[in-house]
Structure 1
């Protein structure tokens, strides 16, 4: 990367980072995640500035990088939701019903006690490995594994209570949802 490119991206970043942050927040509505995405955009723009054509508009390119990062965020979030539902729902539960229950997933996670909520968000929504969570929270790996298992069990209980699923012989959720949350409309 040339010194000129470094200077150009730094100058544009100083001018447009607040606008980019506002752009990201307007799409994801979560300030901490938006700030993380902005950091990713900065790193991607620094690492890929050489791919920018000489006659291209740098600001338009930064918005393109930002849009791509937002799309990645939603793609990863959806993938992580599918992973958690595979872990707690039985295979014979209709995939459409599982998707319908997503409206309850985040509210149920947010209702968990703090230490379980934190590890479930990091593990199931952000997709971090157990060791990464242990390092981040400065806890033992066994403590994290225990909290993830207990957090998943609490989530199952919430789906049973709220959405009227049942727990099958394998300990997974099964049945048809009949959610009690007005926003779900099952």
Structure 2
């Protein structure tokens, strides 16, 4: 039992500041932000057994935090004032989180027709620019842009059929849940 307390305490010490900053960027009131963080750690304590891979604790904690923020705004009935959750300038997602996202997006991309699948793998997951991709594939820049655009549309269609997304007024994803009537690409 003492070993578990040390582990929980080390998680608390390691992620407290990061999570508080993450919350404070979205919840202006310091006391409310600290209350939300306390709730996050309480949820962590009560649901730690549901974490299947301890190497993904950071992304798991950030997901709990995003859910706590969404719940806070839902309860306060101030959804019209929800701040941007994931913008380029305040995005604290690490490479670990991106790897996790890639792991669940990859099956959806793999279901796409070959030319769109290849375009998205190169541009979105490999980070290749569309101009580089055009040269690599031996197609025109215009064709590369078209493939990426159509691939994104098809991917969006697959994702929205499989999952129900909850967004803020800016279109940023706050939370998601699997659609029980459709889910051929993911394991949910």
Sort the TM-score into its range (normalised by shorter chain).
0.3 to 0.5
Identify the structure with the greater helix proportion. 1
TM-score scaled to structure 1, two decimals?
0.40
TM-score scaled to structure 2, two decimals?
0.40
Q: Rg: which structure is higher?
A: 1
